[in-house]
Homo-oligomer: A and B are copies of this chain.
Amino acid sequence: MIQASICTIGDEILIGQIIDTNSSGIASKLGELGIQVTRMLSIGDAHDEIVRSLREELTHHEIVISTGGLGPTKDDITKAALAELSGSKRYVRNEDQARIITEFLHGRGLDVLDINRAQADVPENCEVILNRLGTAPIMVFRFPESTFGHPATLYSLPGVPHEAMGALPDVMDDILRHNPLSGITHRSIMVFGLAESALSERISSWEDALPEDMHLAYLPNMLTGVRLRLSVYGGDRESNLRRIEAEIDKLRPMLGELIYSLEDDTLEHTVGVLLKSSGKTLSAAESCTGGNIAHMITSVPGSSDYFLGSVTSYAISVKEKVLEVPEETICRYGVVSGEVAAAMAEGVRRLTGSDYAVATTGLAGPSGDGVNPVGTVWIGVAGPDGTVTEKKIYHNDRKRNIERFTAASLDLLRRTLLRTVGSQC
């Protein structure tokens, strides 16, 4: 298996100012090609450290991908280090990138300064992949077997995340062209409603019976549930896919509606697809989730096709006046109750005229209500066929509770839609 290392260059990561998200994105893509990432490294903007560290990584890996250290005011350090590493004696200007730089800055109404133009200058012993989203070109250094004892390639990418991620398809193409990769075939099965351990127990007989060359990974995430990833290395892609799908068909009856997608997907997107395909509309009434359900739903492009709006009813007066939750329901059952969740969902459905509505009332913390434990949420979903409610109890962390409440609400909504308007994926 080809091994790779990912290296970020820049003081801003070492001082904790920014979190490195590039390395994770690059690692995912390399994994899809069947390349194993065995190290990630962050180093500062210092010539000797850059030369020493990259040399070390190239000695132990066939592919090294670096990001960062290429801004207009800093790239002297990184580029000089790359020139030394590659034995380049001079820089050459890449005219295509120079044109992109000019267009890029003019498009923002900015003048092109010498330091901007100099970003198109690269060490002579490198190939360039154009950066169409920014100013710093992607530099590719190929080292013969004699240099590090094995053929090795260094890709130097800009640090700005959308530029680094934007360059990845071209970088992956280059890797595929230059390496004998057998490739990897995989499918994801998105599952919500079971913790990793409970899921593993539930499907253990299926897992044990998987073909030897088929690899199963559990990838849990608080917002999207557990992603099961089935992979096969090498072989013919089409026949691999057919074999993987045959295994998924055996898994379906064990999980039923807990499976919400066979893509790398989110609950809010799945809900959107169900609504859009059935021509139905949605609204929300939020207490403890404070707007986060609406925020997640509207983070999906095109959500205005089915999402009419929502009411965040933090104050009881808003629950009563805007959502028309009867004062008596609140007095009798308490604000945190299935009855109030149902009345909120029905209220916002009436108010907006939507087909479906989802509502939450609960205690995200830190303060409680003296009756229910912090972490309690009641979720209501109202639709043309009536209203369902569910209670969940999580833990004692406000931000995590808001996220968990939101995910559980989207999931109850999804299951309700599935039963009324949807078809199993």
Residues of A whose CB lies within 8 Å of any CB of B are 13-21, 23-31, 37-44, 49, 53, 162, 217, 219, 284, 286, 289-295, 297-299, 301-304, 307-315, 317-318, 321-322, 351-353, 365-367, 397-399, 402
**Chain B residue, CB-CB nearest to A400:** B162
A17 to B15, CA, bound (A): 24
Complex contact B21–A25 (CB within 8 A): no
Closest chain B residue, CB of each to CB of A395? B108
- When the two chains form their complex, are residues B38 and A318 in contact, meaning their CB atoms are under 8 A apart? no
Task: Take A308-B317, A365-B301 as given contacts and tell me if A40 and B19 are in contact as well, using a CB distance cutoff of 8 Å.
Answer: no
Contacts of A16 in B (CB 8 A): 23-31, 37
- Report, nearest first, the 10 A-B pairs whose CB atoms are least far apart: A291-B294, A290-B298, A16-B27, A16-B28, A291-B291, A40-B42, A309-B318, A308-B315, A291-B295, A310-B312
A392-B250 Cα distance, complex, nearest whole Å? 53
Quick check: B15 and A19 within 8 Å, CB to CB? no
Chain B residues with CB under 8 A of A284? 291, 312
- For A310, what are the chain B residues with a Cβ–Cβ distance below 8 Å? 291, 311-312
Q: DSSP class of A's interface residues: helix, strand, loop or mixed?
A: mixed
Tell me how many chains of this kind the complex includes. 2
Q: Quote the shortest CB–CB distance from A392 to chain B (angstroms).
A: 15
For A17, what are the chain B residues with a Cβ–Cβ distance below 8 Å? 24, 28, 219
Rounded to whole Å, the gap between the CB of A136 and the closest CB of chain B is: 17
A288 nearest CB neighbor, chain B only? B298
Residue of B whose beta carbon sits closest to that of A53: B39
Assembled-state Cα–Cα distance A31/B13 (Å) = 12
The docked-state distance in angstroms from the alpha carbon of A40 to that of B314 is 43
A196 CB to closest chain B CB, in angstroms? 11
Would you call A13 and B19 a contact (CB within 8 A)?
no
4 more contacts with CB within 8 A, not counting A14-B40, A19-B19, A39-B41, are A15-B28, A286-B291, A291-B312, A294-B312
Taking a contact as CB atoms closer than 8 A, the residue among B162, B292, B312, B314 that contacts A397 in the complex is B162
Q: How far is the CA of A190 from the CA of B25 in the complex (A)?
A: 30
Bound: A17/B30 CA distance, A: 12
Q: Compute how far the CA of A56 lies from the CA of B318 in the bound complex, rounded to whole angstroms.
A: 61
Q: If the complex has contacts A312-B291, A398-B299, are A21 and B24 also in contact, measured as CB distance less than 8 A?
A: no
Question: For the complex, what is the distance from the CA of A279 to the CA of B295, rounded to whole Å?
Answer: 28
Contacts of A291 in B (CB 8 A): 284, 286, 291-295, 297-298, 310, 312
Known: A17-B219, A322-B309. A299 touches B294 (CB 8 A): no
The docked-state distance in angstroms from the alpha carbon of A289 to that of B294 is 9
The complex places the Cα of A37 from the Cα of B16 at a distance, in Å, of 9
Please determine whether A295 and B295 come into contact, CB atoms closer than 8 angstroms: yes
- Asked if A352 and B322 sit within 8 Å, CB to CB, the answer is yes
* Cross-chain pairs A/B with CB under 8 angstroms, 29 sampled: A15-B28, A16-B26, A16-B27, A16-B28, A16-B31, A16-B37, A17-B219, A18-B24, A19-B20, A39-B42, A39-B53, A40-B42, A286-B291, A291-B292, A291-B295, A291-B297, A292-B295, A294-B294, A295-B295, A299-B402, A301-B367, A301-B398, A304-B314, A307-B314, A308-B317, A311-B311, A311-B322, A312-B312, A317-B353
